[in-house]
Amino acid sequence: MAPMLVQEVEDDAPSSNTLELTPVEQTLTRLLLDVSHHIDEHPSTPQTESHVELPAELANEKIVLRYTGGWVRDKLLGVPSHDIDVAINKMTGFQFGLRMKQYLEIPGNLEKYGLESLAANDKQSLKAGTTDKSKTVGGLHKIEANPEKSKHLETTTMRILGLDIDLVNLRKETYTDDSRNPEMEFGTPEEDALRRDATVNAMFYNLNTKETEDFTGRGHKDMARKVICTPLEPYQTFKDDPLRVLRLIRFASRLGYTIEAEVLEAARNPDIKEALRRKISRERVGVELEKALTGPDPQEALRLVFDLDLYETIFSDPAVADVDHYSPDVDGWQIVIDALSDVLSNGGTIADNLARDKEEQYFAWQLAAMVPYRDAPNPVQTDPNRKPPPPVAVTVVKEGIKATNRVSDVIHASVRNESEISGLVDKLYDRKRRPDKSFEGEDATARDVIGMAIRRWGATWRSQVVYAMLVEIANNQDQVEAIERKYTTFIEQVASLSLLEVISIKPLLDGKALAKAIGAPPGPWMKDALDVVMAWQLRNPTLTDPQQAIEEVKLHRSNGELSSDLIRHFLKLTIRPLFIKASPSSVTEAGRKVTTTRLPQKLSMQTGDENVTKPWKGTKGAFTLDILSWVISRLDEKIIAEIWPLVIPPILTLIDDHQPQYKTIGASLLDSLLKTTPPSLLSRTGLGEVFEDALLPCLTFTPPLTPIDEAIPLLQATYRALLTLAYVRIPDPPPPSSTAPDSILPHLARTNFLDKVLRSAFITPLAHSPSALPPPFLILIYTHLPLYLSALGLASVKHMQYILPLLTSTLTHPTSPATPEVLVNANATLQAVIQNGWPRVGGYKGEVVKAMVGCWIRCYGKEGLDGVREGLKETVRGLVGVLEEEEGKEVIRTRRELVGIDGRVAGLFDGMLDGNYAEET
């Protein structure tokens, strides 16, 4: 395929010995010549003497300056170049640079060249000479000799007039067999030309004569033939410096030249490959490769790498022995790089959107080079406490070519996400081709699905998609066009949904706002929850006000789309993992009652460690219960059946916990859940009995065995949950169509359940001596007992014989707590007994009167008990109101007797003469 040159060059290299310099180059040339004349006229000072011995034959020569190498070649090709190497015949680059600086410090000299100043420090030097308009000369930077990094002799760099200048002496090199470290000496122009990598790079421009010089005798000719040759025998050239193989690959791909057959043969020699692996620093290899892949024809560069069998020499981890190193699959490499070249050169949807600039095009070629490692197994993680080792391809680019962190990160993300990307592309293409076909799971064409996938892949998603496409081409080499169509369809869908820049979309909510809306402390849960918000945002692109998102989260019940999504997310991915190791054994994974016998849990060292089994108790999981509470508060009948298996285990785990505070939370959450649970769901799953078995033991956590501040909240939550359970587990039947006995069975079942709870929750603790119970406990009992009596209705009469004596003790016993709240609630319970058991209350009227009169006398004359006294009067009226006529008259007669005995009780019966029964005289 024809090379794709970034810069056009003239077809025929000029054979003229003269070059036409630009005005800036002319100014630089004039400056350099003036400096050389100044040096000739003023011998060197001690501070610029060199430790490199100057040959005697050069000592008396005048300074001769030459532009060398790539600048001369580019000038002959008509290609602009801002990098100029200046070769000096009898001084090192640092010596000449210091003398140049001294020359420019002479007053009036800067102005000769349109300059104004010399950089005084590194900061000024960074800005100096960056353009041809700059009037400041950059400082000198000495680069020490470092043969391991392909720096044979010290050089000095500087910037001036927008040009990057390298100052270096003419030199010759002598190599040893076991190293590429040459012995450097001052050389002649011929010697300097012959030591260079290619004849086209070995030509000079003599500033003194203003002519080009071709000391190899082949430079002009090879440029005209467009071939790459070495000045000396290629095998020895490469043996001396194996890096030259990569440099010639770079020049061939950049210039569109052909490497001479003899040179290619030498480059394929195993000795040269071994020398390249052993003698060349990986940093220099990476530099050459980067230059080649950012050049005009990276396809040709990679073609030559593969053709010369250099792939594993370059792309390998030098720290791993050959026998242990993964062997990359280079089969079909030509198809892969040809396909990428076609995509990038022909333009179209993929190139326009996935390789938009030089950096993304460079990433594409780096990724193409890594495709042979697509099936490399993941390295074994030896230390579980450390991050898993990166994929082999990442290690290869980091260690093999010393790629930048940016390149390594792109390759790491591409390898990591390749399977997900190709899977999504396949699903989307299938949906586009067959839109009527039913599918399972997410809709691959949906805006939120694609958008969230791209956000997961990250900012370099474009390059990652290119890699996934190239991997698929490598695996299906006869389907290149079909694969390109598929990926084109994917990108077109991304563009049509306005998702090309989805990475930059700002979330409507941040973590703090979401935590505040939910009522949970900030924590690690926010990151994934914000992804749920972003997915909702992508599905609703017209919603741009953050307040709209907040209101969605705050909606009561799950009738908001965002709330429903968050509920599913929290239960599946936030709450469930924290409760998975302490799940109740009474419930199946489907949220049903276990009906088979299960083996006991296998004990281990971690079984008793709550940090492992119950992480929601720790500080790191403190947010869990707040989120679970929010979830349950947002449930309704539309979603509860879907999430039932997920919400039941954590609630039962909380109720089963040994600490009262967690049991309280569990009972409260169960109460809230039951209020939105359809009776049919509870019946279908058979969990009514499971809930009963979990809640009833909570009734034993009474004071003083349980601290009062823990017992009261737990008992209150349990009383409420059990009452709610009674109505959901055994709902009211539909209006009976007949008098069949089946129609009353649900009522009987609920009555039996409430009877059991009432005896366990209220009668049993009161029977142990109500006068000794702490006031908060009595208040709690007498607050909730009326609710159960009302639920039982007439069926409560069976408990009257037990409850009334207990009430009498509370209301009248001298040692019983006499706080207003206790007495008011006890009297309210007495009223509930009368109202619900009215047909049988006549048989207990004496006990009722005893309780009322005793309490009245107890309160007589005491301040702050007006509410109690008014309540007792109301109880008297209620009692008389439900009694039969004769029984009512009997109460009135009892009143007269009681007043006669103790006049203080008169006030209790005020107004009775206005009632149904007139006092008989």
The residue extents of the domains of the chain are: 23-225, 333-381+388-502, 506-731, 754-921
pLDDT given at position 552:
79
Q: Which of 413, 410, 426, 408 is nearest to 472 (CA)?
A: 426
The more confident residue out of 636 and 699 is 699
Alpha-carbon gap, residue 552 to 529, rounded angstroms: 14
Amino acid occupying residue 52: V
What value does the mean pLDDT take over residues 889-893? 72
pLDDT at position 98 over 80: yes
**What are the C-alpha distances in Å from 605 to residues 151, 618, 627?**
61, 19, 30
pLDDT given at position 921:
35
pLDDT at position 776 over 90: yes
Q: H or E element: which one contains 156?
A: strand 155-160
pLDDT winner (highest mean) among 246-250, 621-625, 900-904: 246-250
DSSP helix/strand/coil, 81: coil
The more confident residue out of 579 and 357 is 357
- Lowest average pLDDT, out of 369-373, 419-423, 437-441, goes to 437-441
**What are the C-alpha distances in Å from 517 to residues 380, 506, 513, 531, 624?**
43, 19, 6, 16, 15
User: 259 has which bridge partners?
Assistant: 228
- pLDDT tens per residue, range 175-212: 655 555 666 788 999 999 999 999 999 999 999 999 99
Mean of the per-residue pLDDT values of the chain: 87
Amino acid occupying residue 575: I
Amino acid occupying residue 165: I
Cis before residue 704, ω within 30 degrees of 0?
yes
Confidence of residue 4 (pLDDT cuts 50, 70, 90): very low
What value does the mean pLDDT take over residues 38-42? 92
pLDDT given at position 179:
53
**What are the C-alpha distances in Å from 636 to residues 519, 632, 641, 654?**
19, 9, 9, 22
What value does the mean pLDDT take over residues 101-123? 86
Q: Which residue has the tokens 């994917």?
A: 490
Residues contacting residue 687 through CB under 8 Å, at least 6 positions apart:
587, 591, 592, 593, 648
pLDDT given at position 6:
38
- pLDDT tens per residue, range 363-393: 999 999 999 999 999 888 888 888 899 999 9
- pLDDT tens per residue, range 574-601: 899 888 877 788 888 888 888 876 555 5
pLDDT given at position 50:
56
What value does the mean pLDDT take over residues 290-315? 96
Long-range contacts of the stretch 109-113 (C-beta < 8 A, 24+): 109/34, 110/137, 112/31, 112/34, 113/27, 113/30, 113/31, 113/161
pLDDT at position 780 over 90: yes
pLDDT at position 569 over 80: yes
pLDDT given at position 290:
96
**What are the C-alpha distances in Å from 789 to residues 608, 800, 839?**
42, 10, 14
- pLDDT tens per residue, range 532-555: 999 999 999 998 888 888 887 876
Burial-class residue 41 by CB neighbours within 10 Å (0-12, 13-18, 19+). Answer: exposed
pLDDT given at position 605:
46
Alpha-carbon gap, residue 652 to 585, rounded angstroms: 10
- On whether the CB atoms of residues 777 and 705 are closer than 8 A, the answer is no
- Lowest average pLDDT, out of 56-65, 462-471, 833-842, goes to 56-65
CATH topology of domain 23-225: Beta Polymerase; domain 2 (3.30.460)
Question: What counts of helices (H) and strands (E) characterise the chain?
Answer: 43, 13
pLDDT given at position 860:
87
Helix intervals (H) in 476-574: 480-496, 511-518, 525-539, 546-554, 561-569
412: left (phi over 0), alpha (psi -120 to 50) or beta: alpha
- Lowest average pLDDT, out of 280-284, 442-446, 888-892, goes to 888-892
Alpha-carbon gap, residue 910 to 921, rounded angstroms: 18
What value does the mean pLDDT take over residues 707-724? 97
Confidence of residue 804 (pLDDT cuts 50, 70, 90): very high
The more confident residue out of 137 and 326 is 326
Alpha-carbon gap, residue 409 to 404, rounded angstroms: 9
**What are the C-alpha distances in Å from 434 to residues 132, 662, 689?**
60, 52, 49
pLDDT at position 918 over 50: no
Q: Which residue has the tokens 């400082």?
A: 139
Q: Torsion over CA of 636, 638, 641 and 642, rounded to 10 degrees?
A: -110
What value does the mean pLDDT take over residues 331-339? 94
Confidence of residue 149 (pLDDT cuts 50, 70, 90): very low
pLDDT at position 402 over 70: yes
pLDDT at position 153 over 80: no
Residues contacting residue 870 through CB under 8 Å, at least 6 positions apart:
none
pLDDT given at position 54:
75
pLDDT at position 405 over 70: yes
